[in-house]
Amino acid sequence: MSTAMCWTSSRLRVKSLLAICWLLPLHNLSAHEGIASTLGWLDQQIEQAPELQGLWVRRGALLVDDGHLDAAQADLEHARALGEPVRVDCEWGHLQYQRGQFNIAAEALDRYLEQFPDDTRCRRLRAQANVARRHNAAALVDLRYLVEIDTAPNPGLFLQTADSVLAVDASAIEPALAILDDGISRLGVTPALQQRAIALETERHHLDAAIRRLKTLEQVEHRSPRWRLQMAELQWRYGHIEEARTLLISAERDINQLKPTPARRALQQRIAETSRQIAAADG
């Protein structure tokens, strides 16, 4: 087994320029052997060049990823003495985060990011550490920064940021909705974001707004029986009983025509239960 090895000057940002690739029969570098072989390779390199701080940091980072926290700590402490201590601080922060030492983690990541503010991975780690120690305002600063600079953000980033807004101030539903709406504006109407917004609108009893938002998912979710049930539940709560009944009847009729699955069975039960509740409430 062999692995392609390539190098290029770290000063070059243009792909393929001055890139030199060749094959080395380095069995222990096979990516498919996972992290352990990489650690084995790093062991050899550290043996050959124990003075290089970067190797100790790299091995420490992999050991953190692999859950060997004591070994990682030993490597990172050793690395700190071999060069600028701040270069160890991102991985040190990650290690402390994994240990549950969130204050120490955040402090280390602060030091690192002061010197290397463009490192988005460490910024994400700091956001996680600050969330964990409930310094939600600080976490929110990093998450907002990541949302801002990411040209193709994942929906999950908007959800996490909105959650952080609410963690800072549980009543800050409007700013949280603004984050979600920013995501919808940039990524398109997607259930992951709009459903969270609907939950927030419902929580603050803005049922008309929740209904308006759910209507934007009507075509997205193909007016599925699940969508109709949810709309029926909202309409009922909003006092539109006839609309709710009509939706439930339609959802029940259509779901009975579809291939039965466990999820559809559960949906049928919910439809039946909601219909019963509406009938009971209606006297």
Of 117-156, which residues contact another protein (CB under 8 A)?
Answer: 120-121, 124, 150-152, 154-156
Tokens of 25: 């029969």
73 vs 77: CA distance, rounded Å: 6
Binding of another protein at residue 195 (CB under 8 A)?
Answer: yes
Residues numbered 68-97 forming contacts with another protein, rule: CB under 8 A: none
* Residue 199 sits in the site that holds another protein (CB under 8 A): no
Identify the residue among 122, 147, 183, 232 touching another protein (CB under 8 A). Answer: 183
Residue 100 interacting with another protein (CB under 8 A): no
Binds another protein by CB under 8 A, chosen from 10, 148, 239, 283: 10
Number of residues binding to another protein, judged by CB under 8 A: 76
Answer for the pair 173, 141: CB distance below 8 angstroms, yes or no: no
Left, alpha or beta for 239 (phi > 0: left; psi -120 to 50: alpha)? left
Query: Within 49-119, where are the H helices?
Result: 53-65, 69-80, 89-99, 102-115
User: Which C-beta is closer to another protein: that of 192 or that of 249?
Assistant: 192
For 21, the 3-state DSSP assignment is strand
Q: Can residue 23 be called a binding residue for another protein (CB under 8 A)?
A: yes
By CB under 8 A, residue 29 contacts another protein: yes
Residues from 240 through 269 that contact another protein (CB under 8 A): 258-265, 267
Amino acid type, 246: T
Q: What single letter denotes the amino acid at residue 199?
A: A
Using rule CB under 8 A, residue 45 touches another protein: yes
Q: Which of 75, 91, 221, 233 binds another protein (CB under 8 A)?
A: 221
Interacting span for another protein (CB under 8 A) from 46-54, 89-97, 243-251, 271-279: 46-54
User: Closest by alpha carbon to 129, among 94, 164, 161?
Assistant: 94
Residue 70, SS3 per DSSP: helix
